[in-house]
Structure 1
Amino acid sequence: MTIDVQGVIQALSRAVEVSPTDNEENLYPVITISRDFGTGGEEISKMLAERLGLEIFDETIIDAIAQRSEVNKNVLKNLHEKVSSASDAWLYAMVTGKNVSRDEYVNALITVIRCIYHKGGIVIGRGGHVVLQGRDVLRVRLTGSREACAKRVAHRERLSLSEAKRKCADTNKARAAFVWNMFNSRLNDPTNFDMTINTDHFGHYEQVVEILLRSMEMMGYNRRRTGTTNR
């Protein structure tokens, strides 16, 4: 029994449906955020979403696919993060009990992200910067030094510095592997992004948000879209 990919796509399309009266001038902005672990990506995304009045799409993407396909959310999320190649398609079937191919999953994910483009929002990770390449989207990469990121993670999760460094390295490796194996794109290639920001020396994440808002204005990503005024 295969996952009903078309059912997944239709469900997500309804969830992000644009009203028939809407046109390009009424679409909200779209930002994709790729982040190293410990750079403040989630916090920055939340602040940016609040300022722009946008939704954040991260777990939401996984939730919607899992709900429609009747696959446990945590299992699917684990597969999403750890699948390494087309040869690992058997892992999907083994864990979910269904004949789930890698290509089916990737195609569903791509369609979901493209649906979000028509609604507007902030896409965290998931290779959104690759899927929406060439569109009027601001593609942001947040990075940082090993020490600075590990210190943040150690403080937040009450880990030793060595444990935090290991967790950062493992998480970053998994994220890079996912993007490479799903989209054949290198996560550390700066040409895949419109902006790359090292968050090491920003005392407050609000400062990064201000840079992003100003950059959107200067780069023209909000000229065709409403909803980009500060709130």
Structure 2
Amino acid sequence: MTKESKTGYSPGDYGKKRLGAAAWAEINVKNWNRTPENKPQRQPKDGIFPCICFSRQIGVGALKIADLLAERLPFRVIDREILEFMAKEKDLTQKAVEYFDERYPGIMSELFTMLISEKTYLKSDYARQLAKTVTAMAGLEPTIFVGRGTHLILPRDKVLAVRFIAGREYRISRLSGLLGISWEQAENRIKTMDKEQKAFFKSVYQKDEANPDEFDLVVNLRHLKDASQAVELVACAFEQKFGSMA
């Protein structure tokens, strides 16, 4: 559906070594294939865990915040790369759906039917596959989703939707320092990735831009000292909305 960025930078990268999407999927498929007596017993009543969905302007550092927040709550993090991989590998999504169905017989079909009827913008095959992937992942364990508009897919009462923004100069400066490139090079890369992101949302969700009304919380990272402050803001908002997950 989407082309890989030609900028040499994947949105969300901040220097931490992470599992690639294929390795992540391999580990999780093994978990899904565990015998019933070894599978976790914790499960939400209606099949979907309360989750956190991060939407962000390119280059603000949302993935770093997600990783720190996951240690605080704790949740797992599913980023843009994993979502793209799962949405393209239909067999993997099907395995996740089958595991979900084992735990909640019939619920996935009901959830997906409801989503498609309510989220009328999910028209393409890719959009529906992405919706199925995100729904299954949200039903397996508490998750922080980063990117791909997941807050527009999941039931709104199950989501803390957070939008991270920052000024253009902040984003360019951060990318320049992160990659060790000139201001002009960073500016060009930001410009290219902004266009790619806008094209994705137009194609998948028929949206030209992110509307602030979609979110529970909009955080301007330019006005915070570091990522830890953003973590505390989001953790507090989540606990106020859903209570403690401990």
Q: TM-score by structure 1 length?
A: 0.69
Match of 1:39 among 27, 52, 60: 60
Q: Relative to structure 1, is the Cα distance of residues 112 and 157 closer, same or farther in structure 2, using a 3 angstrom cutoff?
A: same
Q: Within 2, Cα distance between the matches of 1:189 and 1:68?
A: 31
Change (3 A) 1:160 1:29: same
2:50 is equivalent to residue 29 of structure 1: yes
Q: 1:202 to 1:24 in 2, by over 3 A?
A: same
SS at match of 2:207: coil
- Structure 2, unpaired ranges of 5+: 1-27, 93-122
SS at match of 1:24: coil
2:190 is matched with 168
Structure 1: runs of 5+ lacking an equivalent: 1-10, 71-101
Which residue among 80, 99, 114 is the counterpart of 2:135?
A: 114
Q: CA deviation at 1:134?
A: 2.1
Using the TM superposition, give the Cα deviation of residue 205 of structure 1 relative to its aligned residue in structure 2, in angstroms: 0.3
2:47 touches 2:139 (CA, 8 Å); kept in 1? no
Aligned residues of 1:139 and 1:195 also touching (Cα < 8 A):
yes
* Contact persistence 2:58–2:171 (CA under 8 A): yes
Q: What amino acid sits opposite 1:200 in the alignment?
A: R
Which amino acid in 1 is paired with 2:74? G
- Amino acid of the residue matched to residue 135 of structure 2? R
Alignment RMSD (CA, Å): 3.0
Over residues 24-82 of structure 1, what are the superposed CA-to-partner deviations in whole Å (9 max), with x where a residue is unaligned? 39964311101112211111111111112211112222333444469xxxxxxxxxxxx
Alignment of 1:149 onto 2:132: no
> Which residue in the other structure is 2:148 paired with?
126
Aligned AA (1:51): R
Match of 1:181 in 2: 203
CA contact (8 A) 1:35 1:143 kept: yes
Decide whether the 8 Å contact of 1:30 with 1:122 is kept in 2: yes
User: Which of 189, 201, 212 does residue 190 from structure 1 map onto?
Assistant: 212
1:217/1:23 CA distance change after superposition, 3 Å: closer
Structure number with the bigger relative contact order (C-alpha 8 A, sep ≥ 6) is: 1
TM-score normalised according to structure 2 size: 0.65
Amino acid at match of 1:109: L
Q: CA–CA distance in 2 between the matches of 1:23 and 1:190?
A: 29
Contact 2:59/2:172 (<8 A) preserved? yes
Question: Secondary structure in 2 aligned to 1:135?
Answer: helix
Give the direction of change, closer, same or farther, for the CA distance of 1:33–1:23 in structure 2 (3 Å limit).
Answer: closer
Pairs aligned (count): 182
How far residue 204 of structure 1 moved from its aligned partner, in angstroms, is: 1.1
- Residue type of the alignment partner of 2:172: A
